[in-house]
Structure 1
Amino acid sequence: MKTFKGLVLQHLRPLVCDCLDPLQFAYQADSCFTGERGEMVDTYKFLGVTLNNKLDWTDHTEALYRKGQIRLFFLRRLRSFNVCTQLLQMFYQSVVASVLFFAVVCWGGGICTGCANKLSKLVRKASSVVGMELDSVEAVTEKRMRGKLKAIMDNPSHPLYTELRQLRSTFSYRLTQPRASKRFGGSFVPSAIRLHNATAPSTSNPRRQRLVLIQPNLYYLS
């Protein structure tokens, strides 16, 4: 996706020598600064998110599932002391959900069906322990993606603000879907735009409506 590529280039150019291509440097094992050969690994944890050399989220969801099972054990132990549902829900949101849905806007739209079903199974187990229905993985992902997209569109200092502003439609509240490959189609920007367009009002822009009401003849002539 051109938007993502532009942001990567913008941050890599100051760190790379002039004789190297910034995108090619990102995949080189030799360090541009020390000249030493870096270690090649299959997975790498960056800011709490596990990345792998296949560019999918299987390793990350496996790590989340293991962490969720450990914390679900403590939730069951807490229920054994006859704790009320309100405190169980508070414990779930603070200890279990905070781990399961960390950075969900990054990986929520790109996980495979098997990984999504595994995390959903964990949420259903937690629901039975708490004694009430909890938000599913899909519901949390959609809610946080919409919230993050709205926060970006309301923040002019955000790096994606200008890019999203250029995708706005002149006649409605919808955003133009950027072209993306199958791999990047599940990333944040394409997924968030699909969710935004699914719930965007079908009416035209209010500025255009005021033009129609105030100067109808001009509108019909245009």
Structure 2
Amino acid sequence: MVVDFRRNRAPPSPITLCDSPVTIVDSFRFLVSIITQDLKWELNISSITKKAQQRLFFLRQLKKLNLPKTMMVNFYTAIMESLLCSSITVWYAAATAKDKGRLQRVIRSAERLIGCNLPSLQDLFASRSLKRAKKIAADPSHPGHKLFVPLPSGRRLRSIRTKTSRHTNSFFLSAVGLINRAGPPLTDYNIPPVTPLHTAHATLTVIFHFVVTHHFVTCCYLVHFMLNVLF
């Protein structure tokens, strides 16, 4: 599968493995998710919706047998919610409102059968994204660990600059936004806040560069003043 978002696309050169040409496809299934060459998720969500609607049949049978509501909720969580949340941190933010509505209608059907409120698709995405972000922030070896950068205030994360909507709807952008809106301290995600010592170090670094390029005597007074204020 070739992913190419250039305006002037060049035809891909043929690839041969063991004297056999590799066939170019528009989409393929990786684990349980369907990935397309345009990185859109209509096919994947259609597949999830179809499977979830099929599993509603078993929920209806349990309803006919008058099973307790607790057991039906457990069945929904294990059989249906696990399907709806498969790779949800990857595709939900980039999904269209129409596709999200299709999945939410399946949840509402399950709510009517069980007779209680169930977590919405947005709530499931938020909880799993925050959980995933917490694991990434606690793992310095993860490639995305350095994307969770706290602001000097220590209460929010620095927003990641983007140029395309495709990047804006990616996991890390969504996770940073969710963490900033959630409100808990960044220490809950193992993200150390910026301490005054870091601020003092940055200030002294700026003064050092000023010393190198400007008057030495004047900056000595500035260094002495900053040391008295910060320390």
- The TM-score with structure 1 as length reference comes to 0.75
Count of aligned positions: 189
Counterpart of 1:67 in 2: which secondary structure? helix
Partner of 2:182: 199
Paired residue secondary structure (1:50): strand
Tell whether 2:39 aligns with 1:55: yes
**CA separation in 2, counterparts of 1:201 and 1:139?**
17
Q: Which amino acid aligns with 2:39?
A: L
Counterparts of 1:125 and 1:31, CA distance in 2: 47
1:29/1:40 contact within 8 Å kept: no
Deviates more, 1:177-186 or 1:81-90: 177-186
Q: CA, structure 1 residues 221+206, in 2 after alignment: closer, same or farther (shift >3 Å)?
A: closer
Q: Who is 1:123 aligned against? A: 107
Residue 133 (str. 1) matches residue 117 (str. 2):
yes
2:147 alignment partner in structure 1 = 164
Q: Within 1, Cα distance between the matches of 2:228 and 2:45?
A: 53
Which runs of structure 2 are paired with 1:85-164 in the superposition (5 Å)?
Answer: 85-161=69-145, 163-164=146-147
User: Quick one: distance in 2 between partners of 1:81 and 1:47?
Assistant: 34
Give deviations 1:134-174, integer Å, cap 9, x for gaps.
0000010011101110111112232222x225x32232232
CA–CA separation in structure 1 for the residues paired with 2:132 and 2:28: 25
**Contact 1:29/1:38, CA 8 A, preserved across alignment:** no
Structure 2 regions of 5+ residues with no counterpart? 1-10, 187-192, 200-225
Amino acid at match of 1:77: Q
Aligned pairs for 1:13-92 (under 5 A) are 28=12, 30-31=14-15, 33-34=17-18, 36-92=20-76
Q: Which residue of 1 aligns with 2:157?
A: 175
Q: Is the 8 A contact 2:153 2:194 kept in 1?
A: no
The 3-state SS of whatever aligns with 2:28 is: strand
Q: Which amino acid aligns with 2:175?
A: A
Structure 2 residue aligned with 1:17:
none
- Give the residue type in structure 2 aligned to 1:186: N
In structure 2, relative to structure 1, the CA distance for the partners of 1:108 and 1:221 (3 Å cut) is same
What is the alpha-carbon distance in structure 2 between the residues aligned to residue 190 and residue 221 of structure 1? 34
Fraction of identical pairs, as percent: 26
Distance 1:105 1:29, change over 3 A: farther
Q: Which amino acid aligns with 1:170?
A: P
In terms of Rg, which structure is larger? 2
Q: Measure the CA separation in 2 of the matches of 1:116 and 1:148.
A: 21
CA distance in 2, matches of 1:182, 1:219: 47
Post-superposition CA distance 1:166-209 (Å, at most 9, x none)? x3223223222212211121110111111111123599x48449
RMSD value, Cα: 2.8
Once the two structures are TM-superposed, the CA of residue 78 in structure 1 deviates from its matched residue by 1.1
Taking a change above 3 Å as real, the CA distance of residues 182 and 92 of structure 1, as seen in their structure-2 partners, is same
Whether the 8 Å contact between 2:16 and 2:22 is mirrored in structure 1 is: no
